[in-house]
Structure 1
Amino acid sequence: MPRQMLVFALIGVLNTATYYGPYLLFLTRFPYLVAHVLATLLSMTGSFFLNARFTYRTRPTWRKFALFPLSNAANFVVTTAGVWLLVDVAHLGSACAPLLASVAAIPVTFLVSRRIMVPV
């Protein structure tokens, strides 16, 4: 499982670039929310296939593909709660709080995506 978590984190870094590059490109033609949604869908699709192949070494299926966004929902909940705790409770700066919260969310996101990709 440590290998899977490391590969998952590396794919996460690649996924961030896969989101941000298209986001900037889409931003030249669309309003920012449309650009955000399109880039998110693109990066989520790439993340699904990369994680299926390299992290979990499992065959991608339509069912797994449909459930995969739940891992992003888990990430959103953990990072949002983390940012709130770091800024409002720990009085950390709001500029670095999302980065720390994202690091804390990796294990939760990993476990949710692992459950989806490799059911017990």
Structure 2
Amino acid sequence: MDSGEGAVRGVFTCELCELSSPYTFYGQKPPNTRGIVLLEECYGMRDPFSPEKEKFLVLGSKCCLCNKIVCVGTECSLFYTKRFCLPCVREHLHQFPEQIQTELAKKKPTQKS
């Protein structure tokens, strides 16, 4: 009996795009799910668009290199065995597979003023 089930634990904010949303769990095991273990410790919430309480959304995680909190948006981070923020991916691009290097080359670098 978990009275905190679905309770807001804090506010997730991406350090790159500033996407902000309340989160209800942090970790690799979303509540109300059986047999689901995520590949990373992440911030998440119950899917507000689904009536099924076992549905959830992953908001983001920490970059495994610099520890910035980043959303899962393709302009902010990349998951390749671990979560990487795009600035770290660009800095260490030569260490990623050619396919990822090619995909990233197609994107324009985002300039933050």
Q: TM-score, normalised by structure 1?
A: 0.24
Q: TM-score, normalised by structure 2?
A: 0.25
Greater share of strand: 2
Greater share of helix: 1
Query: Does 1 or 2 have the higher relative contact order (CA < 8 Å, sep 6+)?
Result: 1
